[in-house]
Amino acid sequence: MEYAIEMRRALHKIPEPGFKEFKTQAFILEQIRTYPPDRVTYDTFETGVFVRVKGLTGNRTIGYRADIDGLPIEEATGLPYCSEHPGFMHACGHDMHASIALGLMKRIVELPVMDDVVFLFQPAEEGPGGAEPMIKSPLFEKYRPSEMYGLHVAPEYPVGTIASRPGVLFASAREVHITIYGQSGHAAFPHLTIDTVVAQAALIMQLQTIVSRSINPMNCSVITIGKVDAGIRENVIAGRAVLDGTMRALNGEDMEKLERRVRDIIRGIEASFGVKIDLQFGNRYYEVVNDRQIVDKFSSFVKMNANYIECDAAMTGEDFGFMLKEIPGMMFWLGVDNPTSGLHQPTLNPDESAISFVIDLLDHYFREYV
């Protein structure tokens, strides 16, 4: 579908951070406004968009969500339509997600299906999280679907492959931000200081014992400290240190246990090293839990038309979980055949033939099987 590929390349040029997707929203609205207002209605929410395409009967409403934000990554693909925004890139495939939604919308406007179809162009999936405020908006009740669908590109799978599973597909995820306060001073006189680097190192090692000693080994959880910062030069003991990371778990009970154990360990580090620690948890993304009946229906359809894989659950975080707590539905992986460049990498370059493949697939599914 040439239109959808054109949309993807235009969106790929303008990646924007969460809740600042102003150009992206304007571009999406430009497309929507070309359709007859008696067939297509819409409302904006922050930098997102709700869209309803009226069906032939409108007895039910099917929801389809596409996230639209980019990442603070410098693109290194060398594509002729690479990012025009320095330091930002669609390195998680959200340009693909949005263009698939636009292409599917065009198809359904031109050839109506029986049910109404609602498209949710959602901001800020990468953070701070756009799904929760979007579904808490009064507008969500106006557009509320009876079931929800969403996808995510998967570079490791070939084009023509769909992968999903009933139950938990993606983990619950939460950011953790820790600031350690001590007393700086000369490196020659450590006894006159409170060294936050030593406390930081001990804390990092202690945090890594939580999963191995506090979580059932049959369950999956992970704590990752992805960013550390301390000190101003080599001969000054740091009076402040910062750690940023994420916690992930496949069930809510384990996530709560991770949080408790982080608090416990921090109290111990404070007592052991004489530091003061400020702990802040970021927004929690709930697990993405696919409805079993909907997955069974969708997977049976896919098996007749494409390659379907029942995949393992992943520790990926996705705020689509907020929507699936409200509405039964499912998310699936879409193969885009770029195995040498994974998600969040500066060389990610999905195979665009996946766009037409999945638009045809979903159009057929919404038309005859939903």
Residues known to be catalytic? 67, 126
Q: Judge residue 312's burial from the number of C-beta atoms within 10 Å of its C-beta, 0-12 exposed, 13-18 middle, 19 or more buried.
A: exposed
Query: Which residue in this structure is represented by tokens 């969403």?
Result: 150
Nearest to 360 by CA among 145, 93, 159: 159
CA-CA distance, 46 to 22, in Å (whole number)? 9
| CB atoms closer than 10 angstroms to residue 124 | 26
Nearest to 285 by CA among 257, 262, 315: 315
Containing 219, the helix (H) or strand (E) segment is none
Token pair for 229: 């910062």
Please answer whether residues 206 and 173 qualify as being in contact, where contact means their C-beta atoms are separated by less than 8 angstroms.
no
Strands 116-122 and 288-290: unpaired
Please answer whether residues 329 and 294 qualify as being in contact, where contact means their C-beta atoms are separated by less than 8 angstroms.
yes
